Amino acid sequence: MNLPGSPFLSRDAGELCLDGHRLRDLATRFGTPLYVYSRRAMLAALAPYQRALAGRPHLVCYAVKANSNLAVLQTFAQAGCGFDIVSGGELARVLAAGGEASKVVFSGVGKTRDEMRQAIAAGVRCFNVESTAELEVLSEVAAGMGQRARVSLRVNPDVDAGTHPYISTGLKGNKFGVAHEQALATYRRAASLPGIEVVGIDCHIGSQITEVAPYLDALDRVLDLVEAIEAAGITLHHMDLGGGLGITYTDETPPGADTLIAALLAKIDARGHGHREVLFEPGRSLVGNAGVLLTEVMYLKPGEHKQFCIVDAAMNDLMRPALYEAYMGIVNTHERTEPGETWDVVGPVCESGDWLGRDRQLAVQPGDVLAVLSAGAYGMTMASNYNTRGRAAEVMVDGERVVLVREREKAADLFKLEKLVD
């Protein structure tokens, strides 16, 4: 069987292992639902980015929204990464994990004044500003603190990334960024504001992108703008080319990070911009195939039209299938010899949309532990407490070490901030 995440995901005598650790044993030890991550798989995914960028000014800023566990952030901080954040809470996480504020870029369309103050006080590297209105407010906040906020403008290049509409961000109809045709005027306004220091340009066209061509199309439009902006007398020190590189969930064949970056750098150099610092914001491609979600089979429910495999993980633990109809591989951690049957893998939440996989061929019995593959990104970060369900525990394996990096929530944890009416 071809398992996404190889060579860190493999079978040993029929038992599914992540980085050499038997997943069924981890489920027994820590309970289910359980997220398990491989630290070495994350670093292996980071390596081609760092190799491709070696020898030129650059910063790889891990996109915190993909997986914000402190141990994950610590892993990338220790590897020299910066961070792409979209909230004040994510900034607090980065700092708690040992990340440097000077390597943080603050993205997002709805930064509050309090978040701006927090980030300026911490000394973040720059704000990726997404509208003229935000620019005006940021200048006012920074000037009020006696500071100048360093900014790059996120430019919307109107390029179709060819991905799910919910995670496409570079089209005119998306909420993100400054329209390409308005960018020069917005840069002129930014340069005139007392609380703003222009330092770069930013572009991010979406997520789960599996082709190089959309990146190259967007880069051409960005470089056109860079030349126009500098001709207007505004200096740009860096280009932030975003993230969004996809992973293999089923049969996708995304380019390697080194292949993508080599193509982008070749175009940058050919157009005479090789001296500029380049930033990238990978998220899913660093952590997606480094993690799995383990869930125990509770009941098998045959039906006239459908057979249901009811497990203890639900849409509150893993939202992607319900939200995007995303396909994620599901396998039994214990390889059975009997023929498989067709099952819908569903959870206990009281919604018909509570499913993890439809029409899956599985040889399975109650008590078995299933692994939902490629669950390291946008799993735990999108989890909720719907139906007053505690969120899953998280474990990180690192060589021979197994570390519980987040305890399972208990019911009392979920309402400890609530008050009864006297």
pLDDT, tens digit, for every residue of 265-286?
A: 999 999 999 999 999 999 999 9
Ranges of beta strands (E only) in 281-350 are: 291-301, 308-311, 330-332, 341-346
Three-state secondary structure call for residue 378: coil
CATH architecture under which domain 9-38+288-414 falls: Beta Barrel (2.40)
pLDDT value at position 166? 40
Within the chain, all domains assigned CATH 2.40.37.10 are found at: 9-38+288-414
Q: What are phi and psi of 128, to 5 degrees?
A: -90, 100
Count H helices, E strands: the chain? 12, 21
Q: Look up 350 and say whether it is catalytic.
A: yes
Axis crossing angle, helix 39-53 with helix 257-270, rounded to the nearest 10? 20
Q: What's the pLDDT at 255?
A: 92
The confidence score (pLDDT) of residue 4 equals 66
**Residue 104 to residue 121: CA distance in whole angstroms:** 13
Query: Among residues 81, 126, 309, 350, which one is catalytic?
Result: 350
Per-residue pLDDT for 146 more than 90?
Answer: yes
pLDDT score at 163: 47
Q: Say if residue 289's pLDDT is above 90.
A: yes
Query: Residue 168: its pLDDT value, please?
Result: 44
- Please state the pTM of the whole predicted model: 0.94
Match domain 107-282 to its CATH number in 3.90.1300.10, 3.20.20.10, 3.40.309.10, 1.10.150.120.
3.20.20.10
The pLDDT tens digits of the residues spanning 45-93 come to: 999 999 999 999 999 999 999 999 999 999 999 999 999 999 999 999 9
Query: Is the pLDDT assigned to residue 167 strictly greater than 60?
Result: no
- The reply to whether omega before 165 is within 30° of 0 (cis) is no
CA angle centred on 195, ends 192 and 198, rounded to 5°: 60
**pLDDT over 70 for what percent of the chain?**
95
Predicted local distance difference test score (pLDDT) of residue 304:
84
Which residue do the tokens 């023929």 mark? 339
pLDDT above 90: residue 231: yes
Cβ atoms of residues 89 and 108 within 8 Å: no
Between CA 263 and CA 410 the distance in angstroms is 48
